[in-house]
Structure 1
Amino acid sequence: MTASPPPAPPAAAGARALEHRAFLFDGMPDFLDTAVPFVREGLEDPDREVVVVVAQQRLEPLREFFPEAPEGAFVAAETFYEHPVRTLRSYLELVKAKNPRSVHALAEPVWREEWTPRETMEWARYESLINEVFQGTRASALCPYDTSVLPEQILEYARRTHPWLVRDGVHVESRRFTPPREFSADVDRAREFPTPPESEYLPVTGHDLHELRQWVGERADRHGVSGRNAQNLVTAVNEVAANALRHGVPPVGVRLWTDGADLVCEVGDNGYWRDFSPLTGFVPPQTALDSGFGLWTVRLLVDLVDVRAGWDGTFVRMRVSR
């Protein structure tokens, strides 16, 4: 499998550091009191490029304050925040495209009631990763959180993933802030990793993976996964299995089962991934030769990836919606 390297954040020697703040507000007037000056600050600075990604209900009221704003500067968050790793890539592409100007973003994450706790934690991890991935870009991000509707757990994630908090126009350091590596490790520790006894199993014994691709493709079709989702799953499983054959310890095998609305496929081997870290495959590598490039690509292809690396082996679990 071949893929282009992800865009690398531009270096910014001697420039201001990343500003990543959670904006806690209650109601539209409170939102506008802070959001309007923030956007205006960016529009008036020739060295910055303004991007506004907020919930649809707040988009038009805010846009009315800035008739002079460039076309495309205002985007509905519901259409932008669809997949955590793809959203991270989109912001990377944006930062690269606007260089040498720095991005000044009012960026409101989307939190959906129908998400499982695991999906919600993955989006919280995305917010944490912003601190790692964009640390050298000079970007300024103000992330709105509506305290009148969001659960306390989401607000706690905001405090843990943003170094600074803004409320009632006051900027304070977040005492709950957790560095990205530590936060990501906490997310991994909170997950469950059961394997149902009714899962199907295919041993992978050779480097010709045609049988594996056919096996996954047939079962994806049987369980209602079709089109691009099925193709992406087959490609992702092929990439992980090929990596396990190159670097893992036999036996290598694939398990597949359904879990509610998801189809789950797991590749495992008996090797121990010694240099695996909580950020592996989340922070985009600079080139296709860097460690973690394959896993970064796999995360882009499927809905959710979990990795467990222990003394009993290394297991990469991929999920797609049915």
Structure 2
Amino acid sequence: MTAANLHEALCYDSDDHLLAVVVPFLLGGVAAGEPTVVSLGPRNAALVRAALPALVGVTFLAEGAVYARPATVIREYRQMLRAHVAAGAGQIRIIGELPPEIFGATWDWWARYESAVNHAFQGFPLWSMCAYDTRITPGPVLADVMRTHPATAAPGGRHLPSGTYTDPAVFLMEPRQPLADPLQADEPHADLKNPNGTATREAVRDAACGILAAPSADELLMVVSEAVTNAHRHGRGAVRVRIWTGADRVLAAISDEGPGPQNPFAGLLPPRDVTRGGLGLWLTHLFSDHAVLDRRPDGFTIRLTAGNPHWC
């Protein structure tokens, strides 16, 4: 089977199940002369390497190093796809998996990633599979997987349509009710009403002092400043900035009374026309360790984490 642009889930329950799908997928790509790429964690990468013939033409990306931040992954994959197409590729195959630690506190933005790539990679001759081990993947995550992948891959060359697939333009605008960081149960380190740039920067610097190293502190300063500028420029009503600190992270929440960005892909994809806005939200996704878009009836909040986002 070949497809100009196919995004499939591979939900497997054993090593044999995984290999029964992945090995024919990869060997088929090699036989067809297609760029064939593996981006799996160390354990599964070793399983696949051992199952493939020696010297087979499969590219293994750095194990565990690819999936850091969703917007970065999309940007880097698009660069790779452009390079392969420029070199004459008519079809590209990729098998990848997200690290299991993202199934907790940060799953919300990875669910948005899985939905957005259905749009982000349009126009590329890409056949991609996203592997999920059903033995360790939580039920709500698997439900999102089925909603963000149009089809699932199964042994024997079967490809089954997902009965719950949701168009990204719909999925990405839904209120996702992300998990609250436990830091939010305490009084914030700073609580600013309609702050200007100077007050925002001072509050961020003070909060980050002694917690974040210089690069992370500088990135947090930039992304919070961008978010506050966006709230003043594009939001409605009062702007509120709250900052919490913990032993291993700093959390900032920037709120206004508006509905939030109306572009479903805002933050995950760079804007085509920067004169119409959207660049700042993309930067917040590129330089935050976790970015949450929280849409509620009473307003919109973007929550930005610098440091360790995996608190559960």
Alignment TM-score, normalising by the size of structure 1: 0.80
SS of the aligned residue for 1:32 comes to helix
**What letter is aligned with 1:171?**
H
- Is contact 2:118–2:168 with CA below 8 Å preserved after alignment? yes
**Pair 148,63 (structure 1): closer, same or farther in 2 beyond 3 Å:** same
SS of the aligned residue for 1:159 comes to helix
Give the drift of 1:273.
4.9
1:201 aligns with 2:188: no
1:174 aligns with 2:154: no
SS of the aligned residue for 1:23 comes to strand
**d(CA) in 1 for partners of 2:17, 2:142:** 17
**d(CA) in 1 for partners of 2:29, 2:260:** 44
- Is contact 1:103–1:140 with CA below 8 Å preserved after alignment? yes
Per-residue CA deviation, residues 135-159 of structure 1 (Å, 9 max, x unaligned), is 2212110122223443333333322
Give the drift of 1:211.
4.2
**Pair 81,275 (structure 1): closer, same or farther in 2 beyond 3 Å:** closer
Give the drift of 1:301.
0.8
**d(CA) in 1 for partners of 2:136, 2:236:** 49
**d(CA) in 1 for partners of 2:133, 2:256:** 44
Within a 5 Å distance, the mapping from 1:123-142 to structure 2 comes to: 123-142=110-129
Per-residue CA deviation, residues 229-278 of structure 1 (Å, 9 max, x unaligned), is 111100001112223344445644422113685421123345x3575244
- Tell me which residue corresponds to 2:26: 39
**d(CA) in 2 for partners of 1:311, 1:150:** 31
- Tell me which residue corresponds to 1:9: none
- Tell me which residue corresponds to 1:99: 85
- Tell me which residue corresponds to 1:50: 36
- Tell me which residue corresponds to 1:10: none
- Is contact 1:77–1:109 with CA below 8 Å preserved after alignment? no
SS of the aligned residue for 1:185 comes to coil
Structure 2: 5+ residue stretches without partners: none
Within a 5 Å distance, the mapping from 1:166-315 to structure 2 comes to: 166-169=153-156, 170-186=158-174, 188-191=175-178, 198-199=187-188, 200-204=190-194, 206=196, 209-222=197-210, 224-249=211-236, 251-258=238-245, 261-270=248-257, 272-273=258-259, 276-308=262-294, 312-315=298-301
**What letter is aligned with 1:173?**
P
**d(CA) in 2 for partners of 1:256, 1:30:** 46
Structure 1: 5+ residue stretches without partners: 1-14
**Pair 245,159 (structure 1): closer, same or farther in 2 beyond 3 Å:** closer
Paired residues, number: 299
| Aligned equivalent of 2:9, options 17, 22, 45 | 22
| Aligned equivalent of 1:80, options 66, 72, 81 | 66
SS of the aligned residue for 1:177 comes to coil
- Tell me which residue corresponds to 1:12: none
- Tell me which residue corresponds to 1:319: 305
**What letter is aligned with 1:182?**
V
**d(CA) in 2 for partners of 1:275, 1:254:** 18
**Pair 220,42 (structure 1): closer, same or farther in 2 beyond 3 Å:** same
| Aligned equivalent of 1:111, options 100, 106, 114 | 100
**d(CA) in 2 for partners of 1:145, 1:309:** 28
**d(CA) in 1 for partners of 2:29, 2:242:** 50
- Tell me which residue corresponds to 1:60: 46
**d(CA) in 2 for partners of 1:269, 1:159:** 32
Give the drift of 1:175.
0.7
**d(CA) in 2 for partners of 1:244, 1:233:** 16
**d(CA) in 2 for partners of 1:78, 1:313:** 36
**Pair 237,172 (structure 1): closer, same or farther in 2 beyond 3 Å:** same
SS of the aligned residue for 1:80 comes to coil
CA RMSD of aligned residues (A): 3.0
- Tell me which residue corresponds to 1:7: none
